[in-house]
Structure 1
């Protein structure tokens, strides 16, 4: 047994090679920016680092079909036919083939599995894998910037190897569809997703009536929120529903996905939250883990497409929450600002707080909050 709490942080420069093309919105540079911000803050040290490995085809096959995995091998070498590319979801502008894509995708999975094993064998108490969180990938199809679903594979690994009851909390603005459909008939995992309603946003799923089927009925929980939801309504809806879920399900470990695209500056979504809400979420989940799972929690990254003003600041607080450091205030480290301002296409934020000079006025705040509250009460009532 470990004698003190220790946090794992999955990182290697090779994780940055998961890259579709130069102008693609999914840019792993955000992982490097976050990592260096934590180092310059003197919070992240070598003893925290967990090196990723390449997951085996057998491990990936815990979720994905063998023919799909073979197709990803072919795509890695540029020998996937156009017909197969369409079949396996690699023919669009969102998710396309790139060189060595199998290896770079398998490394993300391997990092998650190394961290999961470290937590379950008490080498660390908790940890984060901010380069992962690819929750849209389906068992037989790439989807939404995601090739292999490291979240779902990790859950399946925890069930198979440790017979764990797993609670997955997904706070990305986009519904975690790949993870949901992978376990829709399974009662060993409870999948909870709070997200912008699919009425106007990819992937279009995640209605609160999607609750699982067969023996998995009741083990899928969706809380779709209205576009332009602000901090108070988001956090109230989240806290009102997640603790009744965890009390009822009684998990052994929490897996959480921390997409930070609910921020009002994110270019791909329509939410109106600020850094205050994004800072609060991991601290609240860490509290739930301490209370209900003996501290066992594995936090993934996920979405987040304003990589200069939002993602590094928000994701830093995922790690800071795990190591028990307080939320940051005041100026950002000058070393980080000096290094990265020369590369940034915009002025970098100088402090840990949003300036909100461009925060949009939301005229329907009361109506939006009322609709969110209505759905949250409905979801919470299932667990009374």
Structure 2
């Protein structure tokens, strides 16, 4: 686990993609006696990371990122920002030293992948990574350089391994998909809210790869207000089908945790249960198909206090066989969170109550209208998506 560079990747105090998410998660794990500094991995050299980033992103785009990374960019550089998805008032505004910060995140994700493929670790986690919306020629969706694509490209170049990429973010993993859309040795699978209603407006079942990569792309588009059972059923069938056909050497997963009902930027109505179950399912898949080799990355998640720390901590606990999981699984609400959490100094704390247990008491939530209709629609969408999987 390495997140040392996370604080440098920061747009503004009011931006939803804020590094406080990482600080709250680390604090929860430390208060739970679940984090040992000896488990931290050193990143790959920044020179190696920059070399890989330059190999997958267009030169003119990188030059613009660098020019916008200075304290006071000139007018001509600012006039080009919109062209590269970095407009000052947009979703992904430029900020000082952003080139360096984005390279540091790529180095962390590449280090996690290299540690697993070299045999130094069986599983590795880089929560500051998972910037899955960045394209070769532009920034998008809070993402400047695509660290997930850089890590996968590093594995392909140095280990010739077949990579199954699993994206659990509520927003379609479009950037990673398009980086490898014609590559038969990288299978991209994304479960997300349908692009009919949510950014980035893609990720439909007919997106299946192209050329020699046809069939190596699977998109599971879920209806708004989908709940736990339907989400997990579709996810389980999708990853099993993909792994059975593709036979990967490594799993790389992205763990945006914005499919939760509390997340302000989407319309899915899942509880913390999916963030306990999905890592368990991915790990089981890795044990059966990749000799356990599994690299996990962070991603989205914009309820910084109630959702992200618990979801990402549950991921870390699963990756480490932590004994706390037995207690969590034995109780309907997962049991109490440590009393010392949160112990992070921040400017503003939320004005709503913070969770006191690891899981949600979703039985007390008001059921979503049209539950059966939504579930059936998801099943039909899944069947369409799986038509090209043998």
**Aligned partners of 2:164 and 2:250 also within 8 Å:** yes
* d(CA) in 1 for partners of 2:130, 2:343: 29
* d(CA) in 1 for partners of 2:374, 2:172: 19
* d(CA) in 2 for partners of 1:198, 1:174: 8
Listed as ranges, the gaps of 5+ residues in structure 2 are: 329-333
**Aligned partners of 2:130 and 2:299 also within 8 Å:** yes
Q: 2:3 aligns with which of 11, 14, 35?
A: 11
1:40-119 correspondence runs (5 A): 40-52=31-43, 53-54=45-46, 56-77=49-70, 78-79=72-73, 81-91=77-87, 92-119=89-116
* d(CA) in 2 for partners of 1:279, 1:252: 24
Match of 1:93, SS state, is coil
1:283 CA drift (Å): 0.9
**Aligned partners of 1:228 and 1:362 also within 8 Å:** yes
- Correspondence for 2:238: 241
Over 3 Å counting, the alpha-carbon distance change for 1:283 and 1:357 in structure 2 is closer
**Aligned partners of 1:341 and 1:347 also within 8 Å:** no
**CA offsets 1:150-208 (integer angstroms, 9 cap, x no match):** 01111111111111100000010000111111111111100000100001100000010
2:194 maps to 1:197: yes
* d(CA) in 2 for partners of 1:232, 1:372: 11
* d(CA) in 1 for partners of 2:120, 2:222: 38
**CA offsets 1:192-238 (integer angstroms, 9 cap, x no match):** 00100001100000010011111111111111010000000000011
Q: 1:349 aligns with which of 330, 355, 359?
A: 355
* d(CA) in 1 for partners of 2:343, 2:213: 51
* d(CA) in 2 for partners of 1:209, 1:179: 17
1:174-185 correspondence runs (5 A): 174-185=171-182
**CA offsets 1:116-138 (integer angstroms, 9 cap, x no match):** 11111111111111111000000
Over 3 Å counting, the alpha-carbon distance change for 1:19 and 1:223 in structure 2 is same
- Correspondence for 1:278: 275
Note the aligned Cα RMSD (angstroms): 1.7
* d(CA) in 1 for partners of 2:16, 2:281: 29
Match of 1:335, SS state, is coil
* d(CA) in 2 for partners of 1:56, 1:257: 19
1:341 CA drift (Å): 9.3
Match of 1:261, SS state, is coil
- How high is the TM-score relative to the length of structure 2? 0.92
* d(CA) in 2 for partners of 1:339, 1:304: 18
- How high is the TM-score relative to the length of structure 1? 0.94
**Aligned partners of 2:31 and 2:338 also within 8 Å:** yes
Match of 1:367, SS state, is helix
2:287 maps to 1:290: yes
1:86 CA drift (Å): 1.4
